[in-house]
Chain A
């Protein structure tokens, strides 16, 4: 079974803090994604990566950066957290023999005070 894990289920940070969200997948997938999900807005793509050290901006990259130093790990960084970044963050991966199926992690509920 594909497994995508995220470092925290719940996180509370203060405005201006630097926040790291970690995601790890165990299926050697090439593609990894970071989304945020807000009521009424659905899933919105922040950044994605199709290979180690490669990254592309999604639909809402402002205020975020990413890092992919190893194939299995994709990190989302909030350089200076703001209250409007309070959201559910979902990581996903895709690749291998089931190219079209995307596997999601359990999500991190981030609250910025």
Chain B
């Protein structure tokens, strides 16, 4: 079983749609969680951290469910510019010498 699993997609949605991605992780002791965004032919960049209480940044909402070991990202009112690959990232914490664990990514295509 992979440490971090995501549906690779692609998710094809029209502009204005709401779309949600989920990600599961295997290590129940994992400490920190993130979503990174990677545009085509570009490097990944941090989109947002994910907190147990859930957090929102404009049209983006991230949630963490520790009991079920999954993380979600909700994008409301999708824009063409949201087209990218979204990487779910987990920091396992102590004893891991600082490695982040990256999922394979979920590709989103927003169509006009």
Contact A43 B44 (CB under 8 A): yes
A45→B44 contact, CB < 8 A = no
B residues less than 8 Å from A79 (CB atoms): none
By DSSP majority rule, is chain B's interface helix, strand, loop, or mixed? loop
Decide if B32 is an interface residue (CB 8 Å cutoff).
Answer: yes
- A105 to B91 Cα, complex, angstroms: 20
Interface 0/1 of A90-108, CB less than 8 Å to B: 1000100000111011110
Q: How many B residues face the partner with a CB closer than 8 A? A: 20
The interface bits of chain B over 86-109 (1 if a CB of A lies within 8 angstroms of the residue's CB, else 0) are: 010101000001111011110000
Contact with B along A20-43 (1 / 0, CB 8 A): 000000000001010000001111
Provide the bound-state CA to CA distance between A31 and B98, in Å. 8
Do B43 and A105 touch across chains, with their CB atoms under 8 A apart?
Answer: yes
Instruction: List 9 other contacts, CB 8 Å, given A48-B98, A101-B34, A105-B43.
Output: A31-B98, A33-B99, A42-B104, A48-B97, A50-B98, A58-B99, A90-B44, A102-B100, A104-B43
Cβ contacts A to B, 14 pairs, < 8 Å: A40-B104, A42-B103, A45-B99, A48-B97, A90-B43, A100-B34, A100-B49, A101-B46, A104-B43, A104-B44, A104-B45, A106-B42, A106-B43, A107-B42
